């Protein structure tokens, strides 16, 4: 379809960027099949009208509003509509994603741009690059060393591209904790307190922070800056303690925070931060404190210590109660002020190779409803990494929840599907199938990681798998994933998840079957399982190859070595398993020591049930927790 637009050149540049995704072509007025008039309105609003080959898109609140309207208009035309109108008034001033570029996997520039395009077509207008040490600081060569850090030129390129599409690109960095991958180096010793926290009070700490600020000020046009400050649980307990003696964490934290805020403002930045440390400090005496514990009460003494005017981001992706979210939002309003409160939910991509839509959505909807009802104006969907097992591009399906709720004010599944499919050209229903390998028990927990990394000989997960059928489930999952059709930009990720399912078809219960055959003295089955080891090695290699292709499609190269080591370890363990069984069957050894051990549950419950029982920590545990009872 050929379009002519009555609009300024800046908007036309964004249309040109999106034209291939939309399947349209910009032409002169006398060549156009469709003429679109574009108008500016006051406030956050989108209005559209289609009459034959004439259309109007009127919007206020930034270009992303227009681009959502453009996606809807193109969809109308493709569906054969000739008379149509629509008005939407967004709930949120800003709405978008914070994407983790620090947990081993760093999206390459083209993948980030692809996310920008899809998000703009959904009407989302903000993107935070979460970079701990994965951006270049010229004066600190060990900052992001061998981590595929973004160069300054790449950051400026992304910033310009985002701005063209109406997306504010915000640096989201760390200025106290979460810096373990940099602080590991001896070069950082002068400003290291603990393994992950910088040394408060040291001149060298503030010299580094000054360079952080200089770098981001050169690369981003926004004046908004996320300075992190979360989860510094061991603050003041390392070198700081040796140098200064014991001091209350609250005092150390506030001293550092105030100094960093002053430095940021001196560079013209409007800082924001994660708010959890204020809750943790206030709840330090609560038994069994959990993040944003609803028992926390803020005293006047604490309120007086809160720096004025700094944005506070309430992050929470764990609860299913709108009342819980609303209660903590009100506490933020009372302590920090309504104008300084932002909310960050989560699209779970951090527990396996698969996206956890089934876990995310029941926690996202009550959060969105609470934010709507409490008048939150800034919304963030956090997308954390986990070492790169998951291709985080699949989070776009979850971002459609945030976008469509914003413009509709309610959750409408059919509208969400349309929003996602307009922006990506891929079936929403097919995207939902990508999490099937996680749920052989029908629950929302992520089981593919423990099933994949569970050692074939030591079987740390085996006690949870007794009398639990997996083979038919994964055979059916393989059939489903083979028939998804065109997955567009998500195709490499989908193929990796298919290959994972093919591995799990044989591997999920391998250890249970191996020990059962050993305990029963079933030499025929043991012999057959040696051949199964060979087949599993073939399938694991196919998974590795597919995953490597997906990685090199979506991410920068550094970090893949971690996955090579994981897959290589799996292959090696099946080679060892085959050799151990061979030696046993041939009489070289009289027992297989690993298989002689009684299987215990990983949750510490000694009464091993006949029924499988999985537990929530599987969502968080590292692959090493499933591979060995030792440490490496």
Is the distance from CB of 497 to CB of 551 less than 8 angstroms?
A: no
- Distance linking the first and last C-alpha atoms of the chain: 58
CA separation for the pair 453, 499 (Å, rounded): 15
Query: What does residue 328 show for φ and ψ, rounded to 5 degrees?
Result: -75, -30
CB 169 within 8 A of CB 163: yes
User: 205 with 259, same domain?
Assistant: yes
- What's the total number of domains in the chain? 3
Are 543 and 496 contacting, i.e. CB atoms less than 8 angstroms apart?
Answer: yes
**Residue 522 domain flag:** yes
> In this structure, is residue 286 part of a structural domain?
no
- Residues contacting 67, CB < 8 A, separation 6+: 14, 18, 120, 121, 123, 165, 166
Locate tokens 């950051």: which residue? 155
* Chain-centre distance for alpha carbon 99: 6
Are residues 236 and 128 both part of a single domain? yes
137 and 62 fall within a common domain: no
pLDDT > 70 in the chain, percent? 99
- pLDDT tens-place string over residues 481-530: 999 999 999 999 999 999 999 999 999 999 999 999 999 999 999 999 99
Asked if residue 318 belongs to a domain, the reply is yes
Within-domain flag for 42: yes
CATH of the domain at 338: 3.20.20.80
Instruction: Output the domain CATH number for residue 470.
Output: 1.20.120.670
Helices (H) and strands (E) in the chain, counts: 23, 14
Return the pLDDT at 426: 98
The answer to whether 14 and 166 are in contact (CB under 8 A) is yes
Whether 248 and 395 share a structural domain: yes
What is the mean pLDDT of the segment spanning 18-28? 93
d(CA 35, CA 4): 5
| pLDDT, tens only, 4-15 | 878 888 899 999
Query: What is the C-alpha separation between 435 and 412, in angstroms, rounded?
Result: 21
% the chain with pLDDT above 90: 90
Strand order in the sheet with 34-40: 25-26, 2-6, 34-40, 54-60, 45-51, 83-88
Q: What is the pLDDT confidence band of residue 631, given thresholds at 50, 70 and 90?
A: confident
**Of the residues 88, 108, 142, which one is the last residue of a structural domain?**
88
Structure tokens at 506: 């044989």
DSSP 192: B
Same domain for 565 and 582, yes or no, is yes
What pLDDT is attached to residue 623?
84
pLDDT at residue 608 greater than cutoff 70: no
> What are the angstrom distances between the C-alpha of 604 and each of 278, 288, 598?
33, 19, 13
Per-residue pLDDT, 360: 98
Residue 166: give the domain boundaries.
94-281+291-425
Angle between helices 109-122 and 396-408 (to 10 degrees): 30
List the structure tokens of 483: 């028939």
In a domain, 498, yes or no: yes
- Residue 305: per-residue pLDDT: 87
Q: What is the 3-state secondary structure (H, E, C) of 565-627?
A: HHHHHHHHHHHHHHHHHHHHHCCCCCCCHHHHCCCCCCCCCCCCCCCCCCCHHHHCCCHHHHH
Q: Are residues 260 and 169 in the same domain?
A: yes
The residues with which 345 forms a beta bridge, in sequence order, are: 381
- Report the pLDDT value the prediction gives residue 284, as an integer from 0 to 100: 86
Separation CA 105–CA 385 (nearest Å): 7
Select the more confidently predicted residue: 609 or 100. Answer: 100
Report the pLDDT averaged over residues 70-99: 97
Give yes or no: residues 366 and 498 share one domain. no
Digit-coded pLDDT (tens) for 317-340: 999 999 999 999 999 999 999 999
Q: What is the pLDDT of residue 632?
A: 62
Measured distance CA(134)–CA(145) in Å, rounded: 8
Asked if 256 and 402 sit in the same domain, the reply is yes
Nearest alpha-carbon partner for 39 in 48, 30, 31 = 48
C-beta separation of 274 from 230 below 8 A: yes
In sequence order, which residues have a C-beta less than 8 Å from that of residue 401 and are 6 or more positions away?
361, 364, 365, 368, 411, 416
Q: Are 375 and 453 members of one domain?
A: no
Of 41, 63, 88, the last residue of a domain is 88
Region 468-485 average pLDDT? 97
CA angle 557, 561, 562 (to 5 degrees): 120
> Mean pLDDT throughout 453-467?
95
Q: 632 lies in a domain?
A: no
Question: For residue 591, what are the contacts with CB-CB under 8 A and spacing of at least 6?
Answer: 584
Residue that is last in its domain, among 33, 56, 88:
88
Question: What's residue 366's pLDDT?
Answer: 98
Residue 419 lies inside a defined structural domain of this protein: yes
- Who contacts 278 (Cβ-Cβ below 8 Å, separation ≥6)? 298, 302, 306, 312, 335
Query: What are the pLDDT digits (tens) for 68-79?
Result: 999 999 999 999
Running DSSP on this structure, what letter comes out for residue 443?
Answer: S
Indicate the DSSP class of residue 150.
B
Query: How many angstroms separate the CA atoms of 64 and 363, rounded?
Result: 26
Arithmetic mean of pLDDT over the chain = 96
Burial of 593 (0-12, 13-18, 19+ CB in 10 A): exposed
- Cβ atoms within 10 Å, residue 521: 8
Establish if 447 belongs to a structural domain.
Answer: yes
CB neighbour list of residue 35: distance below 8 Å, 6 or more residues apart: 3, 4, 6, 29, 53, 54, 55
Closest by Cα among 474, 362, 360, 443 to 612: 443
469 vs 612: which has the higher pLDDT? 469
Eight-state DSSP code of residue 350: S
Q: What pLDDT digit, counting tens, does each position of 118-170 carry?
A: 999 999 999 999 999 999 999 999 999 999 999 999 999 999 999 999 999 99
CATH of the domain at 11: 3.30.160.230
pLDDT digits (tens, 9 = 90+) for 172-224: 999 999 999 999 999 999 999 999 999 999 999 999 999 999 999 999 999 99
Cα separation, 60 vs 223, in Å, equals 21
Reported as half-sphere exposure (CB side, CA atoms, 13 A), residue 454 has a value of: 27
For 220, 520, 582, 590, the CA distances from 586, given in Å and listed in that order, are: 67, 17, 6, 9
* 615 confidence band (pLDDT: 50, 70, 90): confident
Instruction: Say if residue 180 is in the same domain as residue 315.
Output: yes
| Residue 256 shares a structural domain with residue 189 | yes
Let me know whether 109 and 237 are in one domain.
Answer: yes
**Partners of 88 in beta bridges:** 46
């Amino acid at each position: 379809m050929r379009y002519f637009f009555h609009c300024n050149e800046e908007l036309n540049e964004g249309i040109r960027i999106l034209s291939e995704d939309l399947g349209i072509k910009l032409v002169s007025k006398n060549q156009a099949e469709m003429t679109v008039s574009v108008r500016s309105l006051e406030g956050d609003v989108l209005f559209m009208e289609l009459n034959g080959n004439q259309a109007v898109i009127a919007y206020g609140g930034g270009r992303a509003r227009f681009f959502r309207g453009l996606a809807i208009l193109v969809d109308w035309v493709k569906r054969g509509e000739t008379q149509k109108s629509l008005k939407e008034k967004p709930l949120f001033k800003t709405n978008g994603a914070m994407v983790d570029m620090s947990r081993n996997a760093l999206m390459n520039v083209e993948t980030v741009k692809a996310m920008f395009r899809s998000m703009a077509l959904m009407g989302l207008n903000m993107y935070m690059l979460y970079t701990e040490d994965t951006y270049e600081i010229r004066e600190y060569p060990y900052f992001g060393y061998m981590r595929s850090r973004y160069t300054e030129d790449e950051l400026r390129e992304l910033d310009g591209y985002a701005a063209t599409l109406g997306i504010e690109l915000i640096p989201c960095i760390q200025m106290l904790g979460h810096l373990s991958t940099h602080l590991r180096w001896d070069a950082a010793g002068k400003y290291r307190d603990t393994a992950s926290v910088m040394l408060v009070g040291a001149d060298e700490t503030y010299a580094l922070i000054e360079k952080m600020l200089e770098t981001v000020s050169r690369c981003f046009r926004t004046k908004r800056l996320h300075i992190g400050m979360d989860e510094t649980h061991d603050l003041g307990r390392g070198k700081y303690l040796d140098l200064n003696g014991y001091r209350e964490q609250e005092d150390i934290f506030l001293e550092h925070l105030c100094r960093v805020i002053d430095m940021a403002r001196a560079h013209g930045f409007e800082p924001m931060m994660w708010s959890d440390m204020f809750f943790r400090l206030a709840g330090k005496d609560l038994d069994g404190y959990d993040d944003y514990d609803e028992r926390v009460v803020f005293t006047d003494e604490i309120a007086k210590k809160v720096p004025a005017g700094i944005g506070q981001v309430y992050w929470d992706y764990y609860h299913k109660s709108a009342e819980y979210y609303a209660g903590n939002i009100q506490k933020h309003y009372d302590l920090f002020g309504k104008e300084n409160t932002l909310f960050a939910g989560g699209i779970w991509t951090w527990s396996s190779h698969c996206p956890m839509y089934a876990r995310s959505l029941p926690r996202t909807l009550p959060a969105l409803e609470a934010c709507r009802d409490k008048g939150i104006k800034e919304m963030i969907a956090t997308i954390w990494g986990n070492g790169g097992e998951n291709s985080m591009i699949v989070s776009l399906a979850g971002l459609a929840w945030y976008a469509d709720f914003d413009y509709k004010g309610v959750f409408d599944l059919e509208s969400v599907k349309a929003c996602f499919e307009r922006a990506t050209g891929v079936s929403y229903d097919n995207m939902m199938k990508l999490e099937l390998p996680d749920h052989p028990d029908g629950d929302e927990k992520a089981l593919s990681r423990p099933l994949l990394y569970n050692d074939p000989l030591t079987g740390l997960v085996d006690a949870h798998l007794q009398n639990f059928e997996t083979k038919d489930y994964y055979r059916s999952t393989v059939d489903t994933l083979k028939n998804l059709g065109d997955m567009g930009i998500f195709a490499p990720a989908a193929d990796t998840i298919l290959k994972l399912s093919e591995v799990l078809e044989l591997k999920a219960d391998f250890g249970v079957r191996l020990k059962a055959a050993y305990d029963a003295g079933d030499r025929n089955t043991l012999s057959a399982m040696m051949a199964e080891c060979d087949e599993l090695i073939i399938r694991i290699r196919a998974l590795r190859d597919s995953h490597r292709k997906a990685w090199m499609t979506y991410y920068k190269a550094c970090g893949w070595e971690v996955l090579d080591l994981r897959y290589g370890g799996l292959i090696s363990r099946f080679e060892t398993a085959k050799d151990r069984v061979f030696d046993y069957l041939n009489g070289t050894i009289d027992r297989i020591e690993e298989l002689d051990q009684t299987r215990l549950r990983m949750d510490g419950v000694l009464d091993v049930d006949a029924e499988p029982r999985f537990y929530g920590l599987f969502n968080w545990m590292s692959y090493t927790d499933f591979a060995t009872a030792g440490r490496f």
